[in-house]
Structure 1
Amino acid sequence: MRKTTLAIAIFFLASIVALAGACTAAPTPTPTKAPAPTQAPVATVAPAVATKPAAAAATAAPAVATKAPAVATQAVAPAPAKVAVQPLSPPFKMKVGVAGSAVDAGFYIPYEKGYYKELGLDVELVNFANGLLVVPPLGTGQLDAGGGGVNVALFNMILRGIPLKIVADKSHAEPGNMGIGFLLRKDLLDSGAVKTPADLKGRVLSLPSRGSTQEHMAEILLAQGGLTLDDMDMKMLQVPDQIAAFANKSIDIGHAFEPTVTTAKEMGVAVLWKGDHELLPYREGSAILYSANFQKQTEAAKRFMIAYIKGVRDYNDAFFKKKGTEEVIAIMAKHSTQKDPNVLRKLAAQAINPDGYAYPEALQGDIDYFVRTGQMTPLDIKQVIDHQYVDYALQVLGKYPK
């Protein structure tokens, strides 16, 4: 297995804008050798019934969701019990885009524990500054899979005939989860200068980019105070860079996720003020994407999903069941942007669906926002999501025990 560091993040930031109209190629990163992963047992097949969220109809105006999205029960065809999934031979070489966030653990854990290798996948992890930068090289076919940020550029690529697919959840805003949302500068909170969204007028708001789903979240938040984005001083920053910006008081509020949320709190510069789950429950923070070419590699694509879901389940076990926690924290400290295990132990761990499915209703809400603000034309979420790989993985792994 190999791990690659993508050094020229600024190039891909420009690519996001360019790919909203047409895809252009990006440079191939130089690979570096990664440590050999440990081995884990091969998955066996067992019949299962998967619970899969159902797509919702588009809405004409923004609204704050107050309940969980509709869930439909989809029967998964039973497969022969105790039949091992054979590894691909020769191993399938593939590149996977990662962004160094806590929820990239679903990629890092299989890499370190040998889940990819046992299924015949030779995975190279390619690092990016954020999930939005993962999307352009997926569109050009330079990556096979990745944890991509959901934004208008992704949807416009699909509208222009580039058949990227959201194939699984990477993170979502589950009610009660405080791992993603809006950080507020601590001195503004402590002094009472900002008590409600109405108090944000004229203040500096940090987002990773315009046309992102974070922009949609900001619109919902500001509307609670009778404000719009036009009432704010906007500043585009990568999420980890917000720490220094809060410290030197060059921003007042910013949208962030783990490990930045906990890092900001530990440093005393900002605190999570409004969680995404309070604004749009089950909002899809990021998603697993397959490139057009990788979708054609059916056996590899199915096996990758098995390994990914196994990794996600280890993550859920570690943070929500306190099982195998130290092993997972060590893996995250090795690969994520937060290298301090003590900070990682304090994470308000973001929710990742251990049964894999993404949340179509929330994604359709993002699309409707971009349509309403003139950033794209209408798009049915059914053109975006393909859960066949999750369906297969659940035939092999069964449903996650609650």
Structure 2
Amino acid sequence: MKLGKTLAMLSLAILAATGRVASADDVVRVGEGPFITGGGYFVAEGKGYFKKLGIDVQPKMFIDGALAVPSLISGELDISFMTANAALFNSIAKGAPLVFVLDRGNNKRGRGYTVINVTQELHDGGLKSMADFAKLKGKRIGLGATGSINQYLFAKALEKAGLDPRKDVTWVTNVPQPDLMKMLGQKQVDATDLAYQFGFFAQNNKWGPIVTVDDEIDPDGAVGLYAARKQFVQEKRDVLVRFAMAYLQGVKDFNAAAGDPDGHKDIVEILAKRTALQKPELVRAIAPHWSYTNEDGVPNVKSVMAMQDYWSDYFRLVETKVPESQLFDLSIAREAKARLDRDKPFGN
């Protein structure tokens, strides 16, 4: 009882120092998905970091970040996970009141989260690495969506092999990643770009081996981000900053566990329960390929802007480019990191 009372008093003291008192206004409605790239969020939730800073997170789960966009635009969500895809750039260009505020995973060298798998037949025929991708000319490439991060990475890999991704392959799109694994095994597609866990499953089930991890294609490139409603940023800034503080503490724990899962069994258990992996042994098996999240919270701006340029200038999927100043608000991450370092609400 004494310990609980002490923690409660500490939480109130922290809130008082920020000029806020915990209230119903401190709700944050979050769009999330069952992917390990969201590990920073799941750890912060599982370890009570949000509650400690007076934040009541109310998550709504989506199988793809693109599906959360309508809910974010309509005001049903305050913040949501996203990928920097062509459709999202177009939505913002047309007036969607969204802004990128936090990193949510990138293909840091050595910790790449997305992979390319090919059929066993192609692998046996000599396609064993990105250096052999010229063999994909005329082949069918499976994807979750046109203009997605997965298509971007695969297209860049094809270019490195001297192919034109606009005409030298056939894109098979709008297929969920679990189905793409099976289609690979059934030779309905010849290759696909998948989240690491799905690529791992496909390889283990003999549907097709992993031939490259995408940190070889776009080192440190953005995979996921958090986008927030501009109105929420303006009207509930302190709430969002405290959300970001708790999240960044979760990110720090998540990154440490990715490098040493056996030394962070509590983190592994949290991730197993809250992601599609379900089993701690699977979480450990794919480490360190959980993705990496920047511990200062700042998204990889250069990478995101390069994606927009690519979809606009090369594939012609983006009609009107949005300037960096309209796409990002980096002040949230910077203020959260500064307050986290100064106040040390979690003791480290």
Please state which band the TM-score falls in when normalised by the shorter chain.
0.7 to 0.9
Alignment of 1:33-72 (within 5 A): none
- Is the CA contact 2:261–2:284 (under 8 Å) kept in the aligned structure 1? no
SS for the counterpart of 1:231 is coil
Residue 198 of structure 1 and its aligned partner are, at CA, apart by 0.8
Alignment of 1:135-146 (within 5 A): 135-146=69-80
Q: Count the aligned residue pairs.
A: 326
Match of residue 383 from structure 1: 326
Is 1:218 paired with 2:154? yes
Select which of 304, 314, 321 maps to 1:363.
Answer: 304
Over 3 Å counting, the alpha-carbon distance change for 1:262 and 1:83 in structure 2 is farther
| TM-score, with structure 2 as normaliser | 0.85
Letter in 2 for 1:181: V
Match of residue 103 from structure 2: 169
Deviations 1:301-350 (A, max 9, x none): 11111111111111112112447522112111112111122111111221
Select which of 129, 144, 149 maps to 2:63.
Answer: 129
The structure with more strand, counted as a fraction of residues: 1
Match of residue 33 from structure 2: 99
Separation (CA, whole Å) in 1 of partners of 2:249 and 2:263: 13
Over 3 Å counting, the alpha-carbon distance change for 1:42 and 1:180 in structure 2 is farther
Residue 87 of structure 1 and its aligned partner are, at CA, apart by 5.2
Deviations 1:229-286 (A, max 9, x none): 3222221222233222222222221111232233233333333322222222221111
Over 3 Å counting, the alpha-carbon distance change for 1:147 and 1:242 in structure 2 is same
Separation (CA, whole Å) in 1 of partners of 2:338 and 2:88: 29
Residue 84 of structure 1 and its aligned partner are, at CA, apart by 7.3
Select which of 313, 338, 341 maps to 1:395.
Answer: 338
Residue 155 of structure 1 and its aligned partner are, at CA, apart by 1.3
- Is the CA contact 2:273–2:279 (under 8 Å) kept in the aligned structure 1? no
Separation (CA, whole Å) in 1 of partners of 2:170 and 2:307: 22
Separation (CA, whole Å) in 2 of partners of 1:360 and 1:206: 27
Letter in 2 for 1:337: A
Residue 193 of structure 1 and its aligned partner are, at CA, apart by 5.3
Select which of 178, 187, 194 maps to 1:256.
Answer: 194
- Is the CA contact 1:43–1:85 (under 8 Å) kept in the aligned structure 2? no
| TM-score, with structure 1 as normaliser | 0.74
Match of residue 248 from structure 2: 309
Select which of 134, 138, 157 maps to 1:202.
Answer: 138
Separation (CA, whole Å) in 1 of partners of 2:273 and 2:21: 27
Match of residue 232 from structure 1: 169
Over 3 Å counting, the alpha-carbon distance change for 1:323 and 1:308 in structure 2 is farther
Match of residue 337 from structure 1: 276
Over 3 Å counting, the alpha-carbon distance change for 1:92 and 1:190 in structure 2 is same
- Is the CA contact 1:42–1:84 (under 8 Å) kept in the aligned structure 2? no
Separation (CA, whole Å) in 2 of partners of 1:44 and 1:272: 50
Range with bigger deviation, 280-289 or 190-199: 190-199
- Is the CA contact 1:162–1:292 (under 8 Å) kept in the aligned structure 2? no
Is 1:293 paired with 2:231? yes
Letter in 1 for 2:176: Q
Separation (CA, whole Å) in 2 of partners of 1:89 and 1:315: 29
- Is the CA contact 1:172–1:284 (under 8 Å) kept in the aligned structure 2? yes
Deviations 1:19-72 (A, max 9, x none): xxxxxxxxxxxxxxxxxxxx9985998xxxxxxxxxxxxxxxxxxxxxxxxxxx
Separation (CA, whole Å) in 2 of partners of 1:324 and 1:87: 36
Over 3 Å counting, the alpha-carbon distance change for 1:198 and 1:102 in structure 2 is same
Match of residue 55 from structure 1: none
Match of residue 208 from structure 2: 270
Over 3 Å counting, the alpha-carbon distance change for 1:316 and 1:86 in structure 2 is farther
SS for the counterpart of 1:178 is coil
Over 3 Å counting, the alpha-carbon distance change for 1:95 and 1:374 in structure 2 is same
Match of residue 374 from structure 1: 316
Residue 163 of structure 1 and its aligned partner are, at CA, apart by 2.6
The share of aligned pairs that are identical, in percent, is 25
- Is the CA contact 2:269–2:280 (under 8 Å) kept in the aligned structure 1? yes
SS for the counterpart of 1:96 is strand
Match of residue 3 from structure 2: none
Over 3 Å counting, the alpha-carbon distance change for 1:216 and 1:163 in structure 2 is same
Separation (CA, whole Å) in 1 of partners of 2:209 and 2:266: 28
Deviations 1:185-210 (A, max 9, x none): 34421342566111001222111111
SS for the counterpart of 1:284 is coil
- Is the CA contact 1:167–1:289 (under 8 Å) kept in the aligned structure 2? yes
SS for the counterpart of 1:226 is coil
SS for the counterpart of 2:104 is strand
Structure 1: state its 5+ residue gaps: 1-38, 46-81
Separation (CA, whole Å) in 1 of partners of 2:185 and 2:81: 29
Range with bigger deviation, 222-231 or 139-148: 222-231
